[in-house]
Amino acid sequence: MILAAQWVFLSSFQSTIAVLHESGKRAVVASKINYMSMRATITIYPRATPDAEPVLVTFSNGSQLEITEKYSKQVFLPKSGSTNWDFHFSIFLNLMAKPEHEYVQMTLSNDNPIDVDVVPDVSDDFLSWYYEPIHPDLDVQDEIDLYWLIVEGDATVSISGYGAPF
Amino acid sequence: MNEDNLSSKMSEFMTALDQVKKYREIVASLTDFTIMILGTIVAAISFNNFMRLHSLFITADHGQNIFAYFLFFAIFPAGIIAAVWRVRQRVKSVKPSEWKTTLNEGAAGALKLIQELEWDNIFSSIRYAKLGFFIYGIAKILVYWGIATGALYVLNWGVQWLFHMNMDLFLVVALALVVVVFLNRNDLRKRYEQIGRLDWLLWELRWFESEFRGADFEA
């Protein structure tokens, strides 16, 4: 029984990773459904050549940072909603039909309640497009939490996310 | 049957019984062994859960994570070593050759030993020991298989990190079994032969019992 309880607890943890080796303007996004807590680690490796331009990082609050060396940032998105028991059932009873994704870009669902993404070639209004729900009546702001930043320049960008419904 | 013959046969028989007592102790200690292995698994998963919560809510420090992984993988060998040590201690607690003093008294001592024997218990002990010896062999292979899988998994992780080559988990598990069976082939053969010998002992003792019951002893 102790082992079974431990297994249940262990199964609640989810992790995900995304990497992109491209230049240009990219959005690095960590998102989660509100009943999860999530920690994401973003790492940017600028191209290591003498004539390489600095990489510009723009944060969601508008502040900017120029980097020439490896830069790493951890963000914590706390739980902001009540526990969704569908999540637990979807983990332990895989008999349930997979729900359709509710968003155009994000792959969030009860089966996949945390997500990280590096979106290439974004425009300034990428957020409205990225946030867009498939069903217009969905109130996405209440349902999900999101952290993002924009990276411009020649660099490899990776983001890993790790979360649990506690 | 003369006195020398009787003493010699009795000595052989009591030596075999000592061996059976040891096997029986192995079976009896399997409960301790299982509890200690399950305790090790519970401790390792608890530690893993604690570290997961720590890295989620406190900080995901790379150095701490490596140390935590090291501790996590150290729990298993520590638990297994403790469990095997416990079994060995219990087997060592069986004191062999305690009957030698009585047997040194000659035919009288041998007869005294025979009179004290409970044949039904002896036959039952041998069957029990045979089963236990087999189960202990399987448990030992399973534990070694677990250790080998863990070791190969770590090796696979290292190879993946260094050379970006990855081995399928099923292949890791299957390869670990092949390695364990290959390294333990002599032990397996010995165990198989030992079980055969216990079978033979059982038949020999049945003959021994009937012979002693009907024998006339010459002093």
What percent of chain A has a predicted confidence (pLDDT) above 70?
79
Tokens of B19: 């061996």
pTM for this entry: 0.65
Q: Mean pLDDT for chain A?
A: 80
Q: Which residues pair with A72 in a beta bridge?
A: A43
Give contacts of B42 with chain A, Cβ < 8 Å.
2-3, 6
**With b meaning 16 or more CB within 10 Å and e meaning fewer, what string describes B103-123?**
beeebebbbebbeebeeeebe
Of A3-7, A21-25, A121-125, B204-208, give the lowest mean pLDDT range. B204-208
User: In terms of pLDDT, which residue wins out, B42 or A11?
Assistant: B42
Chain A residues near residue B35 by CB distance under 8 angstroms: none
A164 touches chain B (CB under 8 A): yes
Contact: A162, B41; criterion CB under 8 Å: no
Confirm or reject contact between A11 and chain B (CB < 8 A).
Answer: no
Give the ipTM of the model, two decimals please: 0.72
Mean pLDDT of chain B: 81
CB-nearest to B60 from A9, A10, A39 is A39
The structure tokens 């530690």 sit at B47
Position B111 scores a pLDDT of 77
Per-residue pLDDT at B30: 83
CA-to-CA separations, A83 to A12, A37, A55, A87, A93, in angstroms, rounded: 12, 11, 39, 8, 17
A91-132 confidence digits (pLDDT tens)? 555 544 445 555 656 777 777 889 998 888 888 777 777 766
**Short-list A1, A3, A20, A21, CA closest to A11:** A3
Domain borders along chain B are 1-116, 118-219
Average pLDDT of the residues in B166-179 = 87
Contacts of B45 in chain A (CB under 8 A): 3, 6-7, 10
Q: Cβ A39–B48 below 8 Å, yes or no?
A: no
pLDDT band (50, 70, 90) for residue A75? very high
Nearest residue to B109 (alpha-carbon basis) of B14, B210, B180: B14
Residue B214: its pLDDT value, please? Answer: 64
B45 touches chain A (CB under 8 A): yes
Lowest-confidence pick of A97-106, B163-172, B174-183:
A97-106
- Is residue A56 within 8 Å of A64, Cβ to Cβ? yes
Size of interface A-B (CB pairs under 8 A): 36
Helices B169-183 and B119-163 pack at an angle, to 10 degrees, of 130
Tell me what the mean pLDDT of segment B97-124 comes to.
80
Integer angstrom CA distances of residue B175 from A140, B142, B157: 48, 14, 15
